[in-house]
């Protein structure tokens, strides 16, 4: 459908492919997912009635390794969204150089309306329905919106029982006692701020005193805000689904994080000098750095002209539309794209998978050191490539990643 999320993905793919002069046959391969699966999931609810939920899994590319990507439980989950997110995962894994392809999955459900037992039954039914296409060397899911480490524990258990194997590597983002990796929960937000640090170093700016706003205060946004605060930034605005807060003197981020950990939302938090703002207002605050870490499609052609930030570091997947990109570029805004900036999560998932396969586990310090090294190297490669070819960081990141996937396809050949 025109204007769909997958169309946004294809627009970026076309742009980068034209500059690369990509083989038309390779473009056709990359423009279509390798496999999509839609499943109906009957679940017996606590009161005895049966509900049927729709589930999805998409494997965009396995040219560079097993498909990798989260599973989200949300009411707006559909195949178009899953295809778009799977494609982004392909580029994300390629741009940071980890040996995965892109995958994504989800179930159309409001998880807040289900009991824990109902969620466990839904998760295990979903695993049963997609078990033929997943596995430690096929497709490795992870948590996403509406899912968490506990859900991944159920996922791992169901797969292991169904296959009669010990398979912790089938899924990442698990609880620590059953094979999860130290540092995984903070990895995406930490990677966002590694990207922010590397960007500031290259534009000759100091983090100390820099004004910053963060949209989204879940695992990604809250960690990014906390690290920004530790770096000396003045985080003047944050928001989540319940709305936002603005304090021109800078918010007390450690206190706000403690409140959000306890209440799950920032609604109800107050501090001297802070006022309520909307998510839309947060995006247009007069700040130097903006970190969109909520949902896709937040910065559009309708509001891009009103964005005042000079630097955008994308914590969410697809927060900026292709049309908005053009407006921001014309204004001289430097945007670190999602496929680079938020790749810390999948990088740490890779670490978890490696630890599971080796049955040898690392300290949190080792995880964070390795994460910093991979993210810093990827940023340098994208920055240098983009500058050498006079491109935006997004186009440069896409070109690098598309080229790496294309090379893998050519080297492997077309079977049969």
Q: How many CA atoms lie within 13 A of 404 on its CB side?
A: 24
User: For residue 4, which of 313, 401, 318 has the smallest C-alpha distance?
Assistant: 318
344: left (phi over 0), alpha (psi -120 to 50) or beta: alpha
Give dist(CA 415, CA 15) in Å, integer: 28
- Work out the burial of residue 317: count CB atoms within 10 Å of its CB; fewer than 13 is exposed, 13-18 middle, 19 or more buried: buried
3-state secondary structure of 346: helix
Q: Measured between alpha carbons, how far is 282 from 238 in angstroms, rounded to an integer? A: 7
> What does the alpha-carbon distance between residue 123 and residue 119 come to, in Å, rounded to a whole number?
6
The answer to whether residues 190 and 351 touch, using CB atoms and an 8 Å cutoff, is no
Q: Can you tell me the distance from the alpha carbon of 44 to that of 294, in angstroms, rounded to the nearest whole number? A: 32
Distances (CA, A) of 176 to 132, 173, 355, 363: 26, 9, 12, 12
Give the three-class secondary structure for 2. Answer: coil
Is 113 assigned a catalytic role? no
Catalytic residue from among 68, 83, 104, 234: 104
E strands in 100-208: 101-108, 139-140
Instruction: Indicate the helix (H) or strand (E) that contains 143.
Output: none
Look at the block and give the residue holding tokens 């799977």: 86
> What whole-number distance in Å separates Cα of residue 237 and Cα of residue 380?
29
CB atoms within 10 A of CB 72: 23
CA nearest to 199, candidates 325, 287, 288: 288
Nearest Cα neighbor of 346 from 36, 96, 64 is 96
Closest CA to 83 of 62, 61, 99: 61
- Catalytic residue annotation: 104
């Amino acid at each position: 459908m025109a204007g769909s999320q997958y169309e946004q993905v294809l627009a970026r793919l076309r742009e980068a492919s034209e500059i690369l002069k990509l083989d038309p046959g390779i473009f056709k391969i990359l423009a279509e997912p390798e496999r999509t699966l839609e499943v109906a999931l009957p679940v017996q609810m606590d009161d005895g009635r049966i509900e049927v939920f729709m589930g999805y899994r998409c494997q965009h590319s396995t040219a560079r390794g097993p498909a990798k990507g989260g599973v989200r439980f949300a009411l707006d989950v559909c195949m178009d969204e899953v295809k778009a997110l799977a494609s982004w995962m392909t580029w994300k894994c390629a741009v940071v150089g980890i040996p995965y392809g892109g995958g994504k999955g989800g179930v159309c459900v409001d998880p807040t309306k289900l009991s824990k037992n109902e969620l466990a039954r839904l998760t295990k039914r979903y695993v049963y329905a997609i078990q033929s296409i997943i596995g430690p060397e096929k497709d490795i899911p992870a948590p996403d919106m509406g899912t968490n480490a506990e859900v991944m524990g159920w996922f791992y258990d169901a797969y292991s029982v169904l296959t009669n194997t010990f398979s912790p590597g089938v899924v990442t983002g698990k609880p620590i006692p059953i094979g999860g990796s130290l540092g995984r929960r903070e990895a995406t937000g930490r990677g966002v701020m590694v990207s922010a640090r590397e960007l500031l170093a290259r534009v000759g700016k100091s983090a100390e005193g820099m004004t910053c706003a963060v949209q989204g205060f879940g695992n990604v946004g809250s960690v990014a805000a906390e690290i920004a605060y530790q770096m000396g930034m003045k985080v003047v605005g944050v928001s989540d689904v319940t709305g936002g807060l603005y304090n021109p003197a800078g918010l007390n981020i450690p206190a706000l994080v403690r409140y959000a950990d306890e209440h799950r939302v920032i609604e109800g938090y107050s501090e001297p000098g802070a006022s309520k703002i909307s998510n839309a207002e947060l995006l247009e605050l007069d700040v130097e750095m903006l970190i969109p870490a909520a949902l896709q499609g937040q910065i559009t052609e309708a509001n891009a002209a009103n964005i005042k930030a000079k630097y955008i570091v994308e914590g969410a997947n697809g927060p900026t539309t292709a049309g908005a990109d053009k407006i921001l570029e014309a204004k001289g805004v430097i945007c670190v794209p999602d496929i680079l900036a938020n790749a810390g999560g999948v990088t740490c998932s890779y670490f978890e998978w490696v630890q599971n396969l080796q049955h040898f586990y690392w300290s949190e310090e080792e995880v964070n050191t390795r994460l910093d090294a991979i993210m810093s190297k990827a940023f340098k490669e994208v920055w240098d490539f983009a500058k050498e070819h006079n491109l935006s960081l997004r186009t440069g990141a896409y070109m690098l990643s598309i080229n790496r996937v294309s090379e893998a396809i050519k080297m492997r050949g077309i079977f049969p």
